[in-house]
């Protein structure tokens, strides 16, 4: 997560109420100690895991920390600025009892620190998760990633089907256009051939008419000549 790290040391009014927690020895004994996980429903923009660890470590020993962007399904993939981005996180405390105490006392109180800190007026939103271990968080995250991958594969498959359907439609249209062009060209050739035949027939007809007229005129001239001899 690309977030600028804050280097100010944290010091607020909650120290007095947490004196007993902060200064009790959190060193692990040889016997197995149960860890506790606290959920943070709101983490201010620009707060990194290192900053969060430093702020909470003065109250109890902190183990693993995970921070992620809160995804709003209604926003889709629209890119947001860091100031408008919402974050949530999980913090593992090395002792279950300390996790309960920190969540109970700090919840809905100011984060504090130096007044110039951008987190000074922000409120802690902590909730202890009973019977919840870090492995449960990992299982949940792995499940969400698997669901996301499956959803992505389904979207890619759907996009491929749409692309193939569009490609087939374009190919069918091109085929129909070529067939129509060939049909039009064939009809044009037939029309041209029909016109040529008609023109030839007309020429032959005109020729025959001229020959008949010539014969008739010659016959009339011969008859007139014979009439002139015997008149």
Chunked in runs of 10, what are the mean pLDDT values of the chain (231 residues)? 38 47 47 84 91 92 91 60 79 93 92 82 92 90 88 88 87 86 77 67 64 71 67 60
Residues facing 91 on adjacent strands: 38, 65
Predicted local distance difference test score (pLDDT) of residue 98: 92
Q: Per the structure block, which two tokens stand in for 19?
A: 């004196």
Q: Per the structure block, which two tokens stand in for 7?
A: 């280097």
Rounded-to-integer distance, Cα 91 and Cα 134, Å: 9
Rounded-to-integer distance, Cα 102 and Cα 55, Å: 12
- Going from the C-alpha of 132 to that of each of 38, 39, 79, 112, the distances in angstroms are 9, 10, 33, 28
The pTM is what?
0.55
- Where does residue 108 fall: left (phi above 0), alpha (psi -120 to 50 degrees), or beta otherwise? left
User: First and final CA of the chain: distance in angstroms?
Assistant: 133
Q: Per the structure block, which two tokens stand in for 38?
A: 């606290």
Pick the CATH number of 32-71+81-132 from 3.30.70.330, 3.20.20.70, 3.30.499.10, 3.30.70.20: 3.30.70.330
Residue found under tokens 């990992």: 138
Predicted local distance difference test score (pLDDT) of residue 178: 84
């Amino acid at each position: 997560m690309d977030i600028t790290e804050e280097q100010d040391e944290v010091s607020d009014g909650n120290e007095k109420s947490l004196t007993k927690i902060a200064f009790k020895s959190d060193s692990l004994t040889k016997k197995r100690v149960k860890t506790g996980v606290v959920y943070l429903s709101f983490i201010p923009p620009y707060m990194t895991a290192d900053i969060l660890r430093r702020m909470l470590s003065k109250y109890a020993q902190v183990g693993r920390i995970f921070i992620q962007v809160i995804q709003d399904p209604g926003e889709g993939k629209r890119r947001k600025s860091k100031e408008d981005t919402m974050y949530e996180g999980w913090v593992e405390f090395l002792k279950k009892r300390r996790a309960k105490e920190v969540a109970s006392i700090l919840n809905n109180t100011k984060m504090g620190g130096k007044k110039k800190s951008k987190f000074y007026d922000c409120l802690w939103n902590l909730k202890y998760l009973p019977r919840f271990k870090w492995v449960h968080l990992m299982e949940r995250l792995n499940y969400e990633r698997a669901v996301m991958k499956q959803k992505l594969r389904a979207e890619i498959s759907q996009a491929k089907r749409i692309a193939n359907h569009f490609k087939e439609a374009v190919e069918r249209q091109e085929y129909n256009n070529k067939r129509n062009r060939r049909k039009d060209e064939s009809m044009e050739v037939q029309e041209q051939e029909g016109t040529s035949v008609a023109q030839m027939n007309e020429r032959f007809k005109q020729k025959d008419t001229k020959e008949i007229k010539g014969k008739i005129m010659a016959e009339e001239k011969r008859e007139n000549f014979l009439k002139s001899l015997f008149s």
